[in-house]
A and B are shown apart, each in its own frame.
Chain A
Amino acid sequence: MLSIVELDFGTPRSKAAQQVTLTIDGREVTVPAGTSVLRAAGEAGIPIPKLCATELLDAFGSCRLCLVQIEGRKGFPASCTTPVEAGMRVATQAAQLQKIRHGVMELYLSDYAAGNDALPTEMREMVDAIGVTEVRYGFDGKNHRQAAKDESNPYFTFDPAACIVCSRCVRACDEQQGTLALTIEGRGFASRVVASQDDGFMDSECVSCGACVQACPTTALSEKSLLAKGPAQTSAVTTCAYCGVGCSFRAEMRGEDLIRMVPNKDGRANHGHSCVKGRFAIGYATHKDRILKPMIRAKISEPWREVPWAEAIAHAAREFRRIQAKYGRDSIGGITSSRCTNEETYLVQKLVRAGFGNNNVDTCARVCHSPTGYGLKATLGESAGTQDFDSVLQADVIMVIGANPTDGHPVFASQMKRRLRREQNGRPPAKLIVVDPRRIDIVRTPHVQADWHLQLRPGTNVALLTSLAHAIVDEGLVDEAFVHARCEREAFEKWRAFVAEERNSPEAMESVTGVPARAVRAAARLYATGGNAAIYYGLGVTEHSQGSTAVMAIANLAMATGNIGREGVGVNPLRGQNNVQGSCDMGSFPHEFPGYRHVGDDAVRASFEQAWGVPLRNEPGLRIPNMFEAALDGEFKGIYIEGEDIAQSDPNTQHVTASLTAMECVVVQDLFLNETAKFAHVFLPGSTFLEKDGTFTNAERRISRVRQVMRPRNGYADWEITQLLANAMGYPMHYAHPAEIMDEIARLTPTFAGVSFGKLDELGSIQWPCNAQAPLGTPTMHVGEFVRGKGRFMLTEYVPTAEKVNAKYPLILTTGRILSQYNVGAQTRRTENIRWHGEDRLEIHPQDAEDRGIAEGDWIGIESRAGQTVLRATISSRMQSGVVYTTFHFPFSGANVITTDNSDWATNCPEYKVTAVQILRVSQPSQWQQRYRAFSEKQQELLREAVALK
């Protein structure tokens, strides 16, 4: 349904280089070969009526409105399904055509109820365009006007009375989303749209991506927010604040009221698609739980006191300076957030380095993709993925390792599935290799079946990846020419000798990984010889004690087979949060300035000292887990946390909360009283992505604008709050707009040298590096030469995790996400998404459940070496026996009470994916949960007292 009118030329744009000239209504028109007549006419300013056609979907040719006459052809071909031809002469408005269209529209209207008349629809536009004012058949015939609405979905309604059975929704579910939950049931008059087996939307396989709603030309599928509030008046293009896909949206507004989010057709990361989170789960922005006034308190056992901004900022600054005076300059630090903009994270690290005078700054990427930064820098020379998302369409083999894209990165997963289902430029559908301990959805989903699912034991990635490398070397599948030309010879030969050792063979590793050697060798052959082979990986790779080693092993595979440096190949980390890439780019790590340059580099440091006007430290600062240790040692006493919830997201919760308790001033800047804020002394209310300007950088290095569509309800954008704090601490910052911050970033960071808000407005988005050598950005990296010059192979010895299973802890717990929830759930738990996932559950293999007498829904105690918690059981054959799984979206679940302090050797990224546990049926929450509940209720009470005191 329309709200803000967008141009839609009816069929997808052709990318053909060859141009074709034809005549439409007497006008000469030149378009790329493969363009439909409908689109060619539309682009020339000759609109042809249409209903079943939209440029987001392939032509279908069912509505019979876009009929045209073509000289020399019989009948009235549908212009949407007719490609242009040179010399073609087309008439679009002949009297006979208008008569046919009029008749067709009358038939539609005879069995159509418009629904909400206040809403503009394509249907109404077409009625007006065709000029239908009366329906000669009347409205009394057999019709569907009394068909019941399906209002089961919390975000949208299906009204069959307004459905014209154009199939756009069904095709959107197929072509865009790839779930195929919708079908047209019945024939002729009985035809109707149904979800799954006519289960209703909520109970069907529908994933609520909303593609069907966007595709609908009537009010049949409508957002409930649109029906309730009416059409928008304005819109602005902005970027989603959920996962690392970084979808572009139009935020449709009426004044400062958000009507709905509509995926932007021109968005290069999402091409007009979205998921249930980005499109619908926005209610948190105006949720009653949001804290909008600053608060302070002396102790966490005391009530909060609401204070004016100036008082809160002055208090925080005084406390930080007091602590530094008493315990030393290095006794405080800060944490930036991947949920905040580039400009905001840049300011926080600048405040720490220049204002605090130390390098104690870190970011939540520490606990997710820090091994990506380390591993890719060591091998390829740059801490970033190598491709754009569209590259997957040119892949012939896709290897997914430790990622669950249909849940974690659903919009990219849809694009991946398109390539797995469809031919591309004459190339057959891509082959799929999945490396994952669980049978994730992509292994077998409609019209997609993994060719190989290497269902390895958790914690054995490096063993498996090295054995894949062994097979490639052993079977002579190395791309010798590529390696010779592009990689360091000595390091390669050392690596080749290492992986060739028999102990690294698939046969030798089979007992470690649990994956049959035959399957490993077959997958290796497919990856090495199947054409363009691309690797996509996620936290199932990084969040291990050998996370960095696994990333290097992946880069080794790509280099050894020449699968890097062009479209369709590469090494692609799927970043968890919206701005993980950006927060890392912006110098959030304690050892690096923006652009991944070590603080010990004198020339780089001098450039920042000159720009920032203060001397800077040349030694690395504390990482987040180091901060915890230092706090418990009594050396780290104050912390400024912007947009992070370490008390829920970081491992070994009790260790984290003990560290927070040991500090004298914890300043939390966030939307809600999150778990960390319950240990805070100063609360600075944060702003949502709708309330500020800035940029996010997604997993493909794409920098996109975040645009303010409403004033910050808390009074300030987050960058302004950091600036206030800096000024109060005596370090001056005087930015008038985030554009000025980006200008400073560009001046100081070679890979961002060409980036500005002006250029982003002009180009829509930019993939860094963007500089004099690449003024329009860089979709594919390492073309011709690696960033570091020659690629460097690294040795990847498998070192078993210290987290061992034994008789006391015989199972391995691994953790992950689910589609409807996002990370710690602070946002999505405050939306209707809880209807799909209202609690974290423990997934257990049927055999493990039977052995322990566990039934579906039973309360299960889970005990590890770090702690205990209780969750309800879901019995699932997705799991392999011996492995249990849970998500971590709800604080009461205490998933991180049981994860341990084990971490990646190079980066300290926690080993979330491997925790030895025992489980048994229980009847009550764990002791930790009982303590948590009491503490949490007390903190909520202290919060209520703050409101009462004002």
Chain B
Amino acid sequence: MTMQGHDSSAALVKMANDIADYFHSEADRGLAIDGIVNHITRFWEPRMRRKIVAHYAEHGGAGLNELARAAIAKLAEISQG
């Protein structure tokens, strides 16, 4: 059974934003993005990573804050590549 109306990508977007909020204080933007990508890679189950990448691809990262969006873009690049 899939819960009617359930959208786990909303939870993933919130998680990604929360992680990005932590790395926001890192002045070096490249390091901040790498930190987010590394965190997601180390701690997120692959299906979750695929879903957030798909959300980014399909919805342009709707709901993601600016830093999280940049990180998911990089994650998408890595996963394609």
Q: Give the B-binding residues of A (Cβ under 8 A).
A: 330, 359-360, 498, 545-546, 548-549, 590-591, 598, 600, 619-623, 625-626, 629-630, 632-635, 658, 662, 795-797, 799, 802, 901, 903, 905-908
Residue pair A905, B19 in contact (C-beta under 8 Å): yes
Q: Closest CB of chain B to A803's CB: distance in Å? A: 12
Chain B residues within an 8 Å CB radius of A658 = 3
Residue pair B26, A662 in contact (C-beta under 8 Å): no
Interface residues on B, range: 20 to 34
Q: Give the A-binding residues of B (Cβ under 8 A).
A: 1-3, 6, 8, 11, 14-15, 18-19, 21-22, 24-26, 39, 42-48
Residue pair B47, A797 in contact (C-beta under 8 Å): no
Residue pair A634, B25 in contact (C-beta under 8 Å): no
Known contacts A591-B43, A600-B42; A906 and B19 CB within 8 A of each other: yes
Q: Closest CB of chain B to A810's CB: distance in Å? A: 24
Chain A residues within an 8 Å CB radius of B43 = 591, 620, 623, 906-907
| Nearest-neighbor residue (CB-CB) of B51 within chain A | A633
Q: Closest CB of chain A to B8's CB: distance in Å? A: 4
Pick from B6, B25, B44: contact of A498, CB under 8 Å: B25
Chain B residues within an 8 Å CB radius of A908 = 15
Chain A residues within an 8 Å CB radius of B42 = 591, 598, 600, 620
Residue pair B39, A797 in contact (C-beta under 8 Å): no
Main secondary structure of the interface of B (DSSP, over half): helix
Residue pair B8, A795 in contact (C-beta under 8 Å): no
Known contacts A626-B45, A633-B2, A662-B3; A549 and B22 CB within 8 A of each other: yes
Q: What separation, in Å, do the CA atoms of A919 and B26 have in the docked complex?
A: 40
What are 14 inter-chain pairs, A to B, with CB distance below 8 A?
A360-B45, A545-B18, A591-B42, A598-B42, A629-B8, A632-B2, A632-B3, A632-B6, A633-B6, A634-B1, A662-B2, A797-B22, A799-B24, A903-B15
* Tally of contacts, chain A with chain B, CB under 8 A: 72
Q: What separation, in Å, do the CA atoms of A802 and B14 have in the docked complex?
A: 10
Q: What separation, in Å, do the CA atoms of A634 and B51 have in the docked complex?
A: 14
| Nearest-neighbor residue (CB-CB) of A501 within chain B | B25
Chain B residues within an 8 Å CB radius of A548 = 22
Known contacts A905-B18, A905-B21, A908-B15; A632 and B8 CB within 8 A of each other: yes
Q: What separation, in Å, do the CA atoms of A635 and B3 have in the docked complex?
A: 11
Chain B residues within an 8 Å CB radius of A802 = 14
Q: Closest CB of chain B to A292's CB: distance in Å? A: 32
Q: Closest CB of chain A to B50's CB: distance in Å? A: 11
Known contacts A629-B11, A901-B11; A799 and B3 CB within 8 A of each other: no
Q: Closest CB of chain A to B13's CB: distance in Å? A: 12
Q: A901-B11, A908-B15 are in contact. List 4 more A-B contacts (CB 8 A).
A: A629-B11, A632-B6, A658-B3, A906-B39
Chain A residues within an 8 Å CB radius of B15 = 903, 905, 908
Residue pair B22, A630 in contact (C-beta under 8 Å): no
Q: Closest CB of chain A to B43's CB: distance in Å? A: 6
Chain A residues within an 8 Å CB radius of B11 = 625, 629, 901
Chain B residues within an 8 Å CB radius of A629 = 8, 11
Q: What separation, in Å, do the CA atoms of A621 and B43 have in the docked complex?
A: 8
Chain A residues within an 8 Å CB radius of B21 = 797, 799, 905
Q: What separation, in Å, do the CA atoms of A635 and B43 have in the docked complex?
A: 19
| Nearest-neighbor residue (CB-CB) of B46 within chain A | A619
Chain B residues within an 8 Å CB radius of A621 = 45
Chain B residues within an 8 Å CB radius of A796 = 25
Residue pair B8, A590 in contact (C-beta under 8 Å): no
Q: What separation, in Å, do the CA atoms of A359 and B44 have in the docked complex?
A: 11
Q: What separation, in Å, do the CA atoms of A360 and B46 have in the docked complex?
A: 11
Q: What separation, in Å, do the CA atoms of A783 and B19 have in the docked complex?
A: 32
Q: Closest CB of chain A to B55's CB: distance in Å? A: 13
Pick from B3, B14, B25, B48: contact of A795, CB under 8 Å: B25
Known contacts A632-B2, A632-B6, A634-B1; A795 and B45 CB within 8 A of each other: no
Chain B residues within an 8 Å CB radius of A625 = 11
Q: Closest CB of chain A to B25's CB: distance in Å? A: 3
Q: What separation, in Å, do the CA atoms of A546 and B1 have in the docked complex?
A: 34
Residue pair B45, A662 in contact (C-beta under 8 Å): no
Chain B residues within an 8 Å CB radius of A598 = 42
Q: What separation, in Å, do the CA atoms of A629 and B9 have in the docked complex?
A: 9
Chain B residues within an 8 Å CB radius of A619 = 45-46
| Nearest-neighbor residue (CB-CB) of A360 within chain B | B45
Chain B residues within an 8 Å CB radius of A633 = 2-3, 6, 8
Residue pair A620, B44 in contact (C-beta under 8 Å): yes
Residue pair B45, A590 in contact (C-beta under 8 Å): yes
Chain B residues within an 8 Å CB radius of A635 = 47
Return the 10 tightest CB-CB contacts between A and B, nearest first. Answer: A797-B25, A634-B2, A905-B18, A632-B3, A629-B8, A632-B6, A799-B21, A795-B25, A622-B45, A633-B8
Q: What separation, in Å, do the CA atoms of A658 and B11 have in the docked complex?
A: 16
Q: What separation, in Å, do the CA atoms of A600 and B46 have in the docked complex?
A: 12
Q: Closest CB of chain A to B65's CB: distance in Å? A: 11
Q: Closest CB of chain B to A363's CB: distance in Å? A: 15
Residue pair A797, B3 in contact (C-beta under 8 Å): no
Indicate the member of B6, B22, B25, B42 with the most A CB atoms within 10 Å.
B22
| Nearest-neighbor residue (CB-CB) of B20 within chain A | A905
Residue pair A797, B24 in contact (C-beta under 8 Å): yes
Q: What separation, in Å, do the CA atoms of A907 and B15 have in the docked complex?
A: 10
Q: What separation, in Å, do the CA atoms of A802 and B65 have in the docked complex?
A: 14
Pick from B8, B18, B25, B39: contact of A630, CB under 8 Å: B8
Q: What separation, in Å, do the CA atoms of A345 and B43 have in the docked complex?
A: 20
Q: What separation, in Å, do the CA atoms of A622 and B8 have in the docked complex?
A: 13
Indicate the member of A546, A633, A796, A903 with the most B CB atoms within 10 Å.
A633
Residue pair A905, B3 in contact (C-beta under 8 Å): no
| Nearest-neighbor residue (CB-CB) of B18 within chain A | A905
Q: What separation, in Å, do the CA atoms of A442 and B11 have in the docked complex?
A: 39
Q: What separation, in Å, do the CA atoms of A546 and B19 have in the docked complex?
A: 10
Indicate the member of A545, A620, A629, A796 with the most B CB atoms within 10 Å.
A629
Chain A residues within an 8 Å CB radius of B44 = 620
Residue pair B47, A630 in contact (C-beta under 8 Å): yes
Q: What separation, in Å, do the CA atoms of A591 and B18 have in the docked complex?
A: 19
Chain B residues within an 8 Å CB radius of A905 = 15, 18-19, 21-22
Chain B residues within an 8 Å CB radius of A906 = 19, 22, 39, 43
Q: Closest CB of chain B to A547's CB: distance in Å? A: 11
Q: What separation, in Å, do the CA atoms of A836 and B35 have in the docked complex?
A: 49
Q: What separation, in Å, do the CA atoms of A922 and B24 have in the docked complex?
A: 44
Residue pair B22, A662 in contact (C-beta under 8 Å): no
Q: What separation, in Å, do the CA atoms of A878 and B44 have in the docked complex?
A: 40
Chain B residues within an 8 Å CB radius of A546 = 22
Q: Closest CB of chain B to A156's CB: distance in Å? A: 49
Chain A residues within an 8 Å CB radius of B26 = 795
| Nearest-neighbor residue (CB-CB) of A625 within chain B | B11
| Nearest-neighbor residue (CB-CB) of A659 within chain B | B3
Chain A residues within an 8 Å CB radius of B24 = 797, 799
Chain A residues within an 8 Å CB radius of B18 = 545, 903, 905
Q: What separation, in Å, do the CA atoms of A633 and B26 have in the docked complex?
A: 34
Q: What separation, in Å, do the CA atoms of A905 and B43 have in the docked complex?
A: 11
Q: Closest CB of chain A to B53's CB: distance in Å? A: 15
| Nearest-neighbor residue (CB-CB) of A552 within chain B | B22
Q: Closest CB of chain B to A463's CB: distance in Å? A: 13
Q: What separation, in Å, do the CA atoms of A797 and B23 have in the docked complex?
A: 9
Residue pair B3, A620 in contact (C-beta under 8 Å): no
Chain B residues within an 8 Å CB radius of A623 = 43
Q: What separation, in Å, do the CA atoms of A623 and B48 have in the docked complex?
A: 11
Chain A residues within an 8 Å CB radius of B6 = 632-633
Q: Closest CB of chain B to A913's CB: distance in Å? A: 16
Chain B residues within an 8 Å CB radius of A498 = 25
Q: What separation, in Å, do the CA atoms of A590 and B2 have in the docked complex?
A: 24
